[in-house]
Chains A and B, each alone.
Chain A
Amino acid sequence: MRFANVLHLGIKELRSLARDPIMLVLIVYAFSFSVYTAATAMKETLHRAPIAIVDEDNSPLAARIAGAFYPPDFLPPEMIKPQELDRRMDIGLDTFALDIPPDFQRDLLAGKKPTIMLSVDATRMTQAFTGNAVIQNIVTGEVNAFLKRYRDVPDTTVNLVTRARFNPTLDNERFLGVMHVIDNVTLLAIILTGAALIREREHGTIEHLLVMPVTPLEIMTSKVWAMGLVVLVACYFAILVIVQGILRVPVEGSMPLFLLGTALHLFATTSLGIFLGTVARSMPQFGLLMLLILLPLQMLSGSTTPRESMPEFVQMIMMGAPNTHFVIIAQAVLFRGADGSVIWPQLLALAAIGTALFLFALARFRKAIVTMA
């Protein structure tokens, strides 16, 4: 391998990229607007939840409870008749329905411990789960406040103090912003290298390269470093400017350590891009293949939902995917401020996966070149 060739071919890749407006727009979009909108799109988990109330009591207390639900957490409650409840929930009009029984206030004051029925449409998981807790708190709060005017309500003696580490307000923006950067690193690494290879094939320049005194290893290495560098720089920019600057998310750990992880991850994913570029015969095929590969890689890596909730076999398989380790590194370093002593197994795994993918892609590339040219 001659480093001068790798250098010049890589510079050629960068020049080609600089003249490809679609890819440039994609890179800029993926690491700026896309990150920003993804981070700010789902701020609160409970937002304008539809709720209906069946008031069979018609007491001041019932009215007080109904008045406690208002935007932005809830839509203004619909006051409905008991017989409407099932039907409305069936066709998806309400996520929650609160049924205040007759004589509710009287029974409460008589200490009879009346029961309020809360129906939840549990097919809407996110609202259902958090909404239930919020509604319980609101109702209990209103009832206790109402009762306080009549008698003493004892305070509990054992209090629970919860504190969230690394993200005291449990602000979703922090998580979503960084994870979106992570997902886009993978996306672009694969698209840029794969497309660069297929473009050469479609323009017939690959066979040109092959009659020159350059080896497949040099061609592949040049694409890996050039595209990897572009994504690395873009990723650094996104963390620095979008995540830290605009979204004001504090980054806990060492940036160089994170970038080292990113570089290793890019080594693996750009190799994967080359591999897909050799499998696909044309851009359209590449696009279809990418959809089938990228979605699983991203969704099962732990960047959207926690890994430990996935089935055992999925967790096992995903240990072989570079994303999984990269997500662990990113979360550990950027959120928890972990250092090398914590993430070295992941760094090692990434290096191993990257080397394996690179060698595999190279073997495939060497073979495919014959049919390509």
Chain B
Amino acid sequence: MSGKSPPPGAGEGPEPIARLRGVGLRYGRTVALDAVDLDIPAGTMTGLIGPDGVGKSSLLALVSGARALQTGTLSVLGGDMASIRHRHEVCPRIAYMPQGLGKNLYATLSVFENIDFFARLFGHDREERLRRIDELTEATGLKPFLDRPAGKLSGGMKQKLGLCCALIHDPDLLILDEPTTGVDPLSRRQFWALIDDIRRGRPGMTVVVATAYMEEAERFDWLVALDAGAVLATGTPEGIRERTGTKTLEAAFIALLPEEKRAAHSPVVMPPRPEGAGDAIAIEARGLTRRFGDFTAVNDVSLSITRGEIFGFLGSNGCGKTTTMKMLTGLLPPSEGEAWLFGHPVEADDMATRRRVGYMSQAFSLYTELTVRQNLDLHARLFRVPAAETPARVAEMLERFDLAEFADALPDSLPLGHRQRLSLAVAMVHKPEMLILDEPTSGVDPVARDGFWRILGELSRRDGVTIFVSTHFMNEAERCDRISLMHAGTVLVTDTPEAIVERRNARDLEAAFIAYLEEASGEEPAAGEVPAVPLQETAGATAAAQRRFDLRRLASYARRERLELRRDPVRLMLAVLGSVILMFVMGYGITLDVEDLTFAVLDRDDTTLSRDYALNISGSRYFIEKPPLASHADLDRRMRAGEIALAVEIPPNFARDVARGKSVEVAVWIDGAMPQRAETVKGYVEGMHGTWLLAKAREMGRGAAAEPAITINTRYRYNPDVESLVAMVPAVIPILLLMIPAMLTALSVVREKELGSITNFYVTPTTRLEFLLGKQLPYVALGFGSFLLLAFFAVTVFGVPVKGSFLALAAGALLYIGAATALGLLVSAFMKSQIAAIFGTAVITMIPAVQFSGMINPVSSLSGAGRVIGEVFPASHFILIARGTFSKALGFADLAQPFLFLILTVPVLLALAAAALTKQER
């Protein structure tokens, strides 16, 4: 059946809850959805099935309104999702749980805080919130864990928490994107039981689910099979199976695939192990235990795997499979217990054993910057395949794993299935006797997965390679010679799959596994006993949800940001200590004082007068005298070595010539390596020379003639001693108050983009301004705290008093931090990754602040673009306020102009940031 014709569900039932017509979506050049026509029936549980990367998530994101529509029309809950107005109206009726365990949750926030955050967004009052949280956590069994951070929950619990957060506002449409991927079978079953209960409590609710587990899809009312961005088939599970004439949905799915994809596929038949193959032990583990802090990841695991065996390790995410494998490979030293590979104890630095093992990790860890061939080549060399054999070996691997045509491609450009084969090829390049594979097939489509298992079978049966593989697919586990079921760090049972099923008298392996899990966790057999969730509509909340600007939603964001920040040590340290550290560094580093300069004299006269001249210099506080110079060569050598910054040469017969009134020349050499310093030295020396001349003239009674005709009386205002600190500290404060708050605010938004929790902003009634202000407020408070700290250090440690109005300074600082954080928000709209946000903000704030804001040269001295930037950049105006209040004893009245400017800047920047922020992912 083609995806083009309208699905059968369309005409029969009520109005579909979502109607897609010609919906297409591309990311750059990749097509995610290709002109999809689809009606999703209301009031049912609809499942989207298909492997990773076929467009399931894109479709759900579009329906939920999280992603912006590109082509085609999409109507959800009776309105056009392209209309902002409609989205704002219906978003309180939609709940969306994105893919990835706990992706829209906040890892550092507790269970209660997470649910509470969502409840506040939907405008429930305190009493209502507590009631709902109580009910939901009761129903999901999360109640005992209210105070546990979301990041420390198991996969199953995370998904339940996600469900609580999604259900807090009584949605009519619940969208779940792969809610059970990576969750153990028992939790999976509990999760579905919970969904059934909820549906019983709210019969009108439509549930749309995406899943990669075909066996799960059996329970759905209606299915949509997707492949390569197009709909393969729709219908009830029975209907689809009947139509394809297959027994399982997995087989049905493969049958539905287009001819060219199916061609490579044939069912996997694992041949029996050759007779007498397996007595020699390849892996042996006894009492392996690993603790991280007070958490026991792996508890007393013992195993024994014979040569040539395929040994499966079955369990959910976080149950300790990976940790056990790492201990067996020597990646991780066990806390207790021992392991042997081929009879040798596993040790971290045992290079000989490592060469006999191939390892393939969950993430297909390949060098994405190296081509397929280069990856193979590098691994061959590192595993010390003899250089002469390497090219042949690489060619053999390319051939065997069917990668020859991609030899010079980069791994990222390959489909997932190919990358998986490459990963295996890399692990096999040195012909190891044993392969350790950590979830090698997650995310790969069924055809590629079966192909992969055929290769494993061949390796084991033909080449006698021992294979130790972990998986969470039951049908893969069934292909292993023996399996271990693992849960919460312990091995529940180890045996052949058939024996395990038999022992439990179970229908299949999954049922057997669940039986073992129930026994282990001591829970009652069914999770279905939870009471149906009675949730009532509240009129007040919906009214609040419709409001365009709601202080409560703003406060909810601000509150959450504050909590998160408090629990992130690195960001908090930067926020609190960063500015203080940098203030000290800049205060001492950008010093313009020049003192303690070294000098030496080459005195060729050696008379009282010449010594008097030298004394004139060494007496000043700027200079320190070094031993006298012997010759020009000595002068040259010591200046080259940087030992003296200044050399003074007094000519022979100096005293005599001066007495005779003959013109004499005193020569000075200045080390010009640092021009700025040399300028200052020159200034000092000329000044001292003049003073000396005048003093001598007076002594000789020729004062009148030598006296200058006028006196220029220089008054250094505001900073009479011309001290660097007095000048720099008030200018450094504005720079620090700009860079760090702007960076932290930008990070706070971009972090959400990178981690995925920005989805919550997309799909809740939160408006752009609420989101931005909510993000900004905590950083304004933090910035103001850091201002007080900086001002305190300026006065106490640096001794730069606030001569003018402190109130004016503080008010200016508050406005300025408002502008700085708003600038950060504006920057964040254009940044996708946190690292870009850090360097982007640093560049955007530091350069104009240091060069164009009057810190060193006043803005009026600038010209061109620098002048324009300087005039509008907030730092220029706050530098005026800071210098005015610190050094010039000014108050509000004198600084009206910069104040006015800052007052205007904040709303303008915020408006720009709001305009640049999108309410949907694009």
The answer to whether A310 and B671 touch across the interface, beta carbons within 8 angstroms, is: no
State the Cβ distance, B241 to closest chain A Cβ, in Å. 38
C-alpha gap A124/B724 in the complex (Å): 9
Chain A interface residue count, Cβ-Cβ cutoff 8 angstroms:
120
Whether B588 contacts A310 by the Cβ 8 Å rule is yes
Chain B positions 710-736 with a Cβ under 8 Å from a chain A Cβ: 710-720, 722, 724, 726-728, 730-731
CA distance A113 to B712 in the complex (A): 10
> Separation in Å of the B79 CB from the closest CB of chain A?
39
Contacts of B857 in A (CB 8 A): 47, 124, 126-127
Query: Is the pair B585, A162 in contact by a Cβ cutoff of 8 Å?
Result: no
Question: A60 at interface (Cβ–Cβ under 8 A)?
Answer: no
Measured between beta carbons, the chain A residues less than 8 angstroms from B712 are 115-116, 118, 135-136, 139-140
Instruction: Contacts A118-B715, A309-B594 given; indicate if A213 touches B382 (C-beta within 8 A).
Output: yes
Assess A336 versus B639: contact at CB under 8 Å? Given A114-B711, A154-B706: yes
B322-347 interface with A by 8 A CB criterion: 326, 329-333
The residue that A292 contacts in the complex, of B574, B674, B706, with Cβ under 8 A, is: B574
Contact B331 A120 (CB under 8 A): no
Nearest residue (CB) in B for A286 is B835
- CB-contacts of A157-180 with B (<8 A): 157-168, 170-172, 174-175
User: Which of A168, A296, A335 has a CB less than 8 Å from the CB of B581?
Assistant: A296
Report if A311-B588 is in contact (Cβ < 8 Å); known contacts: A116-B712, A370-B333: yes
C-alpha gap A175/B676 in the complex (Å): 9
> Do A160 and B382 touch across chains, with their CB atoms under 8 A apart?
no
Q: Mark A268-312, 1 if CB is under 8 A from B, else 0.
A: 000000000000101111111101100110011000111011110
Question: In the complex the two chains form, is A147's CB within 8 Å of B709's CB?
Answer: yes
CA distance A310 to B584 in the complex (A): 11
Within 8 Å CB of A233, what residues of B?
A: none
Indicate which residue in B598, B667, B860 contacts A75 across the interface (CB closer than 8 Å).
B860
Q: B522: which A residues are within 8 A, CB to CB?
A: none
CB <8 Å contact, A308 and B333: no
Query: Is A170 in contact with B689, judged by CB distance below 8 angstroms?
Result: no
Decide yes or no whether B619 CB sits under 8 A from chain A: no
Q: Is the CB of A174 within 8 A of B675?
A: yes
Mask: chain B, 26-57; 1 = CB below 8 Å from A; 0 = not = 00000000000000000000000000000000
Smallest beta-carbon distance B195→chain A, Å = 33
Distance in Å: Cβ of A10 to nearest Cβ of chain B: 11
Contact call A125/B728, Cβ cutoff below 8 A:
yes
Q: Is the CB of A306 within 8 A of B594?
A: yes
- Complex CA gap A288/B680 in Å reads 36
Q: Which residue of B lies closest to A20 (CB)?
A: B369
Name the residue of chain B whose CB is nearest to the CB of A109.
Answer: B709
Contact B667 A161 (CB under 8 A): yes
Which residue, of A154, A212, A332, has the highest number of chain B Cβ atoms within 10 A? A212
CA distance A122 to B893 in the complex (A): 22
> How far does the alpha carbon of A80 sit from the alpha carbon of B663 in the complex, in Å?
43
Contact of A63 with B by CB under 8 A: no
Indicate if A15 sits at the interface (CB-CB under 8 A): yes
B679 within 8 A of A: yes
- Contact between chains at B894 and A90 (CB < 8 Å): yes
Q: Closest residue to A281 on the B side, CB-wise?
A: B570
Whether B382 contacts A300 by the Cβ 8 Å rule is: no
* CB atoms of B640 and A332 under 8 A apart: yes
Asked if B679 and A212 make an inter-chain contact with CB atoms under 8 angstroms apart, the answer reads: no
CB nearest neighbor in B for A170? B675
The residues of B that contact A48 with a CB separation of less than 8 Å are: 860-863
Contact A156 B667 (CB under 8 A): no
Q: Taking the nearest CB of chain B, how far is it from the CB of A147, in angstroms?
A: 6
A296 to B475, CA, bound (A): 58
Of the candidate stretches B393-401, B477-485, B782-790, B884-892, the one touching chain A is B884-892
| Binary A-proximity of B650-667 (CB < 8 A = 1, otherwise 0) | 000000001001111111
Contact check: which of B369, B596, B665, B710 meets A116 at CB < 8 Å? B710
- Which of B370, B436, B718 is close to A123, meaning CB atoms less than 8 Å apart? B718
- Interface-central residue, B640, B671, B689, by most chain A CB under 10 Å: B640
Identify which of residues 157-176 in chain B touch chain A, using a CB-to-CB cut-off of 8 Å.
Answer: none
Residues of A within 8 A of B384 (CB): 4, 213
| CB-contact partner of A113 in B366, B674, B710, B894, under 8 A | B710
Residue of chain B at shortest CB distance from A214: B382
By the criterion CB–CB under 8 Å, are B722 and A125 in contact?
A: yes
**Least CB separation from B860: chain A residue:** A50
Q: Which of A182-205 contact B (CB under 8 A)?
A: 203-205
Q: Is the CB of A295 within 8 A of B860?
A: no
Residues of A close to B682: CB separation below 8 A:
162, 164, 170
The answer for the CA separation of A308 and B842 in the assembled complex, in Å, is 29
Are the C-beta atoms of A300 and B589 separated by less than 8 Å?
Answer: yes
Q: Are A211 and B589 in contact (CB under 8 A)?
A: no
B675 & A171 in contact (Cβ 8 Å cutoff): yes
- B680 pairs with A129, CB closer than 8 A: yes
Q: Are B330 and A211 in contact (CB under 8 A)?
A: yes
Q: Is B895 an interface residue (CB 8 A)?
A: yes
Residues of B within 8 A of A210 (CB): 331
Which residue in chain B gives the minimum CB-CB distance to A120?
A: B716
Q: How far is the CA of A215 from the CA of B589 in the complex (A)?
A: 41
For the complex, give the distance between the alpha carbons of A155 and B710 in Å: 16
Q: How far is the CA of A225 from the CA of B640 in the complex (A)?
A: 32
Q: In the complex, what residues of A have CB within 8 A of residue B597's CB?
A: 308
A288 vs B579: C-alpha distance when bound (angstroms): 12
Whole-angstrom distance between the alpha carbons of A289 and B570 in the complex? 8
Flag the segment in B249-257, B354-362, B529-537 that touches A: B354-362
**Minimum Cβ distance to chain B for residue A145 (Å):** 11
- Nearest CB in chain A to that of B657: its residue: A157
Best-surrounded residue of A18, A135, A140, A157 (most CB of chain B within 10 A): A157
Binds B, one of A91-99, A347-355, A357-365: A91-99
**Known contacts A108-B710, A120-B714, A125-B722; A49/B861 CB under 8 A:** yes
B719 near A122 with CB under 8 A, answer yes
Q: B903 interface residue, CB < 8 Å from A? A: no
Closest partner residue, chain B, to A300 (CB atom): B589
Contact A292 B678 (CB under 8 A): no
B410: A residues at CB distance < 8 A? 19
- B578 contacts the other chain (Cβ, under 8 Å)? yes
28 A-B residue pairs with Cβ-Cβ distance under 8 Å, sorted by A, are A8-B382, A75-B861, A87-B894, A116-B711, A117-B713, A119-B715, A122-B717, A124-B856, A124-B858, A125-B728, A140-B710, A153-B709, A157-B658, A158-B665, A159-B665, A163-B668, A165-B669, A204-B363, A204-B365, A209-B382, A211-B359, A284-B837, A287-B834, A292-B574, A292-B578, A306-B677, A335-B673, A373-B332
* 9 additional A-B residue pairs with CB within 8 Å, beyond A209-B382, A336-B641: A113-B709, A116-B713, A124-B727, A159-B663, A161-B665, A162-B667, A166-B671, A170-B678, A308-B597
| A binding-site residues for B, Cβ under 8 Å | 4-5, 8-9, 12, 15-20, 41, 45, 47-50, 75, 87, 89-93, 95, 108, 111, 113-130, 132-133, 135-136, 139-140, 143-144, 147, 153-168, 170-172, 174-175, 203-205, 207-215, 280, 282-289, 291-292, 295-296, 299-300, 304-306, 308-311, 314, 328, 331-332, 335-338, 342, 370, 373
Which 9 A/B pairs are nearest by Cβ-Cβ distance?
A299-B589, A167-B672, A164-B672, A284-B834, A122-B719, A204-B363, A287-B838, A204-B365, A19-B369
